[in-house]
Amino acid sequence: MREYVFTLEYDRGVDPIADVFIDHPEAIARSVACNVVGEDMWRIDRFSGPEHAIDALEELVLDANRCNECPEGACDSYREHELLETNATTATVYTYRQGIDACPALPYPASEHLGPGLFFETRRRGNEYVWRILTRDDTGAGELFDHVRDSFPDSIGISLSQTGDPTHWGDGDDDRDELPYEQRAALEAAVDAGYYQTPRESTLAEVAEDAGIPRSTLQYRLQNAETWLATEFTEGCLGVDDDVPERAP
- For residues 225 and 183, is the Cβ–Cβ distance under 8 A? yes
pLDDT score of 242 more than 60? no
Q: pLDDT digit string (tens) for 156-193?
A: 999 988 766 666 665 544 555 567 778 888 888 899 99
Sheet with 128-135: strands ordered across = 78-86, 90-98, 40-48, 28-37, 119-125, 128-135, 2-10, 156-164
pLDDT at 245 over 50: no
- When comparing pLDDT for 116 and 54, which is higher? 54
Per residue in 61-102, pLDDT (tens digit) is 999 988 898 887 778 899 999 999 998 889 999 999 999 998
Domains of the chain: 2-164 (no CATH), 178-238 (1.10.10)
CA gyration radius, the chain:
20
pLDDT at position 140 over 70: yes
pLDDT at 173: 47
Indicate the pTM of the whole model: 0.74
- Contacts of 122 by beta carbon, 8 Å cutoff, 6+ apart: 29, 30, 31, 34, 45, 129, 130, 131, 132
Tell me what the mean pLDDT of segment 131-136 comes to. 90
What does the alpha-carbon distance between residue 188 and residue 194 come to, in Å, rounded to a whole number? 10
Phi-psi region of 38 (alpha: psi -120 to 50; beta: other; left: phi over 0): left
Q: What is the DSSP string of 52-72?
A: HHHHHHHHHHT-TTS-SSSST
Closest by CA to 114, choosing from 99, 132, 92, is 132
